[in-house]
Amino acid sequence: MRVAIIGAGWAGLAAAVKATQAGHQVTIFEATHALGGRARVITSSNAQTLPNGTPLRLDNGQHILIGAYTETLALLRLVGISPEAALLELPMTLQFPDGLGIRFGPWPTPLDALGGILQARGWSLADKWSLLRAALGWRWKRFVCPASLSVADLCQHLTPKIKAELIEPLCVSALNTPPWQASAQVFLRVMRDALFGVPGGSRLLLPRVDLSALFPDAAAQWVLERGGLLKLGQRVESLQTQGQQWLLQAELFDAVILATSAPHAAQIISAYAKAAPQPVANQVQHWVHTTQALHHEAIATVYGWAPQASLPQAMLTLRSTAQYPAQFVFDRGQLGGPAGLLAFVVSAAQGERATLQAQVLAQAQAQLGLALQPVQTVVEKRATFACTPALQRPPPAIAPGLLACGDYLAGPYPATLEGALRSGGAAAALL
């Protein structure tokens, strides 16, 4: 089949790789001149040097992967990227600058989690027992709960310290949604895969290369080498049918995979629905309404630098408040970047860019004792969807020959790189 893929983010490129692997002829249309969508290197000129003149490449956000992301690791290997070389592997760690918190042990899954809980610093026996009892309960119930539950509901019997120092940072990092608004079922699915899914599923995998080099560039090259086409700077605004085929940019295709953001996909499909035949039009309109009902959350990444700035480990958890909003900080010097460069992540970010930057720099001074110079602050206003209880997410099949992929589509995972790549593969499988 001749397949058009609209969007060259992680989901679209995964769909392109999988469709090419299945023997289809792929053409990728990308509105910009950059690959990777919301997980890519920044190309703006003001992001190219540190205050001391050191050149650098900044990502438009800091991403965390874990060993349970089996589809991500498989696709990296398929397109020629070695996870062992491109990712720094660490035990699951949620430790604060003062050394308190949890760090999993060097044992097989799930003994690593058990050892981490028992050895966690700053937690009382009552804290540890409340967590162990809850985890055993989740395991007993096969990590399934009523769809209406929030993470806060699920964890109501945990001690305040466990909620504040474990559940909240885990929840915002995995679902980008605060516990009182986040889906307990999706949270449990991530916990199940990390703790019991595959050996080493809980291991942290932190990128040591920029996000464009991690997958998008290699994936596009892999597709091109196998006869695919990549058309940059071509924004697709509408879809038309011509017989059983689809007309895009004056070309005919047998199938289309929409791999754009949710709002742009809904805009394109809404225009198509007006001309779609019944009963396809009703199905398409329902897809549009479901997609438009998604609420989106912002993620801010604040890059700061000081000549001697360094962290005791590559990633630390921070105590997040309204005044100090960052939940995590990464030492980019330990991840292949220049020494002294730190990246602070604010999930479910609120407020203006300048305000967030000032708050995070003050947080660095207060919690890390570091006076940092601002390098750049990136705010992705629609970075993820709010992963709320009983959320209805649109399916990948829209109409005959018309599919969608993206981390917002129906699936077991929240808005993560793994969710995006799985969605791309699922769409390609439906061709």
Contact 136, 158 (CB under 8 A): no
Residues whose CB is less than 8 angstroms from the CB of residue 128 and which lie 6 or more positions away in sequence, other chains included: 117, 118, 120
Of 405, 430, 431, the C-alpha closest to 419 is 405
Alpha-carbon distance 101 to 167, whole Å? 12
- What is the per-residue pLDDT for 79? 98
Strands 255-258 and 2-6: parallel
Length, in residues, of the chain: 431
Q: State the pTM of this model.
A: 0.95
Residues whose CB is less than 8 angstroms from the CB of residue 420 and which lie 6 or more positions away in sequence, other chains included: 9, 10, 11, 14, 39, 405, 406, 407
Alpha-carbon distance 163 to 137, whole Å? 16
- What is the per-residue pLDDT for 279? 80
pLDDT tens digits along 316-355: 999 999 999 999 999 999 999 999 999 999 998 999 999 9
- What is the per-residue pLDDT for 405? 98
- What is the per-residue pLDDT for 195? 84
- Mean pLDDT, all residues of the chain: 94
Residue 276, amino acid? A
User: pLDDT category, 9, cuts 50, 70, 90?
Assistant: very high
Which tokens sit at 398?
């829209």
Of 89, 15, 59, the C-alpha closest to 212 is 59
Alpha-carbon distance 6 to 15, whole Å? 10
Mean pLDDT to the nearest integer, 246-274: 95
pLDDT tens digits along 355-366: 999 999 999 999
Query: Cis link prior to 325 (omega < 30° from 0)?
Result: no
Measured from the Cβ of residue 374, the count of other Cβ atoms closer than 10 Å reads: 15
pLDDT at 46 exceeding the cut of 60: no
pLDDT tens digits along 195-211: 888 889 999 999 999 99
Q: What is the set of domains in the chain, with CATH numbers?
A: 2-37+211-294+391-429 (3.50.50.60), 45-88+205-210+296-385 (3.90.660.10), 97-202 (1.10.3110)
